[in-house]
Amino acid sequence: MRWVDVTVVGGGILGLATAREVCRRRPRLRVRLMETQQGLGRGQSGHNSGVLHSGIYYEPGSLKARLCRRGRAAMLDYCRAKGIDHRVDGKLLVANSEEEVERLGHLVDRGRENGLVGLRRLSAEETRSREPEVRALEAALVPEAGVLDYREVC
CA–CA distance, 133 with 129 (Å, rounded to integer): 9
Residues 143 and 91 in one domain: yes
Residues 21 and 94 in one domain: no
Question: 112: left (phi > 0), else alpha (psi -120 to 50), else beta?
Answer: alpha
Residues 101 and 44 in one domain: no
Furthest-apart CA atoms within the chain: distance in Å? 65
pLDDT, tens digit (0-9, with 9 covering 90-100), for 23-53: 999 999 999 999 999 989 888 887 788 889 8
Burial 28-44 (b: 16+ CB within 10 A, else e): eeebebebeeeebbbbe
**Residue of 47, 53, 86, 106 marked catalytic:** 53
Could you confirm whether 53 is annotated as catalytic? yes
- Residues β-bridged to residue 9: 34
Kindly report the pTM of this predicted structure: 0.82
C-alpha distances (whole Å) from 89 to each of 58, 75, 142 are: 21, 15, 9
Residues 38 and 69 in one domain: no
Name the domain count of the chain: 2
Instruction: Tell me if residue 112 falls in helix, strand or coil.
Output: helix
Query: Which H or E run includes 7?
Result: strand 6-9
Residues 10 and 29 in one domain: yes
**pLDDT-based confidence at 4, cuts 50/70/90?**
very high
Residues 32 and 81 in one domain: no
- Is 154 domain-assigned? no
Residues 43 and 92 in one domain: no
Q: What is the span of the domain harbouring residue 20?
A: 1-48
| Backbone phi and psi for residue 81, each to the nearest 5 degrees, phi listed first | -65, -35
pLDDT, tens digit (0-9, with 9 covering 90-100), for 86-127: 999 999 999 999 999 999 999 999 999 999 999 999 999 999
